[in-house]
Amino acid sequence: MSTLLVRNAHVLVTMDAARREIAGGGFFARDGVIEAVGPDESLPDSADEVLDVSGQIVLPGLVNCHHHLDQTLTRNLPAGQDAELFDWLKAHYRVWARRSPPASRTATLVGLAELALSGCTTAFDHAYLFQNGCRVDDQIAAAAEIGVRFVASRGSMSLGESLGGLPPDSCVEREDDILADCERVIGRYHDASHGAMLRIVLAPCSPFSVTDRLMRESAAMARAHGVRLHTHLCETADEEVFTLAKFGVRPVEYMAGLGWVDDDVWFAHAVKVNDAEIGLFARCGTGVCHCPSSNMRLASGIAPLRKYLDGGVKVGLGVDGSASNDGGHLLGEARQAMLLARLKLAVEPEAARLWTGAREVLEVATRGGAAVLGRDDIGALEAGRCADFFTLDLDAIGYAGGLADPVAAVVFCAPRTVRHCWVHGRPVVTDGRVVTVDMALVVEEHNRHAAALIG
Ligand SMILES: [Zn+2]
């Protein structure tokens, strides 16, 4: 049994049911689970570990609902700098397929460290390309090394160019091999318990890289084991053209026909949707991961965040892979979400009449992401949830003059590196540095892998 007392926050943002913001607040946790949250005087006087966060704002750990951590090896790839999704993918597929298991380890560490330094305590990764000996096990081991709560996907691609898909045949796998490995990974790793540090998701890549059979069989297997389902959907106009030409329906109708519009599913992007499809997501409990930077980077469009929120759709936030962002600052992504929703007011006023505020995007990045991942044990600082949190120094230059509303300041002002980031009551970042892994060594090794991959 070990106890943790966090105290003296300038303000503690709970994201609890009442959305309390507690001046001079803190919380008390036992074995990584919060027992009490409130003003300091209401908390126990001592604990095995005491963290004084004077001068800092404390927020619930951010939840990243879509990433491709291995893409930190191919940030800013010159051939993919100025391309829309399909051409961008074609520029990357073969490079990604050449990565090795040790490269995948460093990529996972770099991506998760970058996220933790921005306040993220739970990350979902959508890995779908397994060649050259790479397995999802490599990433799972790396996530355990750094200590970030991890939701890993055994993703897949099976529809190569010769069958009318987008990826080269050399980058796809046989469907029976995919399904056998999905079964293995779920059996070996999936932890459904409260506070689980590791869960598995089945995540075929997209309608244009996977067959309808694999979509159906993945859904059946996921439901047999109680794991969730994820894929890319409605990211670009090209995808819509693809499903209309091949199946005669829009992407959402295609997925609905495969049993993929349900409350155990969430889609990355969901930019190109109509009002009926938004209504369907809301009624079915289907979640969406909004990835604003990636959507801007690839000129994909502006997802209807305001309509999702107003319609009651579960929405989380994702940085997306580091080849289409090309950074993994999740607090910065919340800022992008707010700003992009405002741009939509200008370009499509009839589609988005209301302002989207700083607290709304913080909620999307915390509670929203937890709901998308189907979790009630993270996403807020309240009794019964995990002690996942981060802090920011409010005396930083970038916040100077903006402290009339410090909660909104962390979204409106330029994104900063966190002071502390803890997961399940354990430090991952202390005083702005990752403390679980020697990141200087990892970055050096990672850059060697990246250079070899591109060379
Ligand atoms: Zn993606």
Per-residue pLDDT of the chain (455 residues; tens, 9 = 90+): 799 999 999 999 999 999 999 999 999 999 999 999 999 999 999 999 999 999 999 999 999 999 999 999 999 999 999 999 999 999 999 999 999 999 999 999 999 999 999 999 999 999 999 999 999 999 999 999 999 999 999 999 999 999 999 999 999 999 999 999 999 999 999 999 999 999 999 999 999 999 999 999 999 999 999 999 999 999 999 999 999 999 999 999 999 999 999 999 999 999 999 999 999 999 999 999 999 999 999 999 999 999 999 999 999 999 999 999 999 999 999 999 999 999 999 888 776 678 999 999 999 999 999 999 999 999 999 999 999 999 999 999 999 999 999 999 999 999 999 999 999 999 999 999 999 999 999 999 999 999 999 88
Quick one: pLDDT at residue 33?
98
**How many angstroms is it from 47 CA to the middle of ligand 1?**
42
Report how far ligand 1's centroid is from the alpha carbon of 86 (Å).
Answer: 12
Chain center to CA of 20: 25
Rounded to the nearest angstrom, the distance between the alpha carbon of 233 and the centre of ligand 1 is 9
Instruction: Give me ligand 1 centre to Cα 398, in Å.
Output: 31
- Measure 431 CA to ligand 1 centroid, in angstroms: 31
Entry field: residues in the chain: 455
Q: What is the pLDDT of residue 353?
A: 77
- Check: pTM over 0.85? Answer yes or no: yes
**Nearest by Cα to 407 from 396, 399, 419:** 399
**What separation in Å is there between the alpha carbon of 78 and the centre of ligand 1?**
19
Alpha helices in 80-147 (DSSP H): 85-97, 101-116, 136-146
Sheet containing 25-30, strands listed edge to edge, beginning at the edge strand earlier in sequence: 33-39, 25-30, 3-7, 49-52
Strand partners, 254: none
Calculate how far, in angstroms, residue 295's C-alpha sits from the geometric centre of ligand 1.
10
**C-alpha 267 – ligand 1 centre gap (Å):** 10
* Residue 50 CA neighbour count, 13 Å, CB half: 10
Beta-bridge partners for 265: 229
* 262 burial via Cβ count (<10 Å: 0-12, 13-18, 19+): middle
Q: Residues 248, 250, 253, 257: is their CA dihedral positive or negative?
A: positive
**182 Cα: distance to centroid of ligand 1 (angstroms):** 19
CA of 359 to the centre of ligand 1 (A): 25
Q: Of 182, 231, 179, 181, which Cα lies nearest the Cα of 205?
A: 231
Contact between 127 and 69 (Cβ < 8 Å): yes
294: CA distance to ligand 1 center in Å? 8
The CA-based dihedral angle spanning residues 14, 16, 19, 21, taken in that order and rounded to the nearest 10 degrees: -20
For residue 320, the model assigns a pLDDT of: 96
pLDDT at residue 347 in the model? 87
Q: How far apart are CA 232 and CA 250, in angstroms?
A: 14
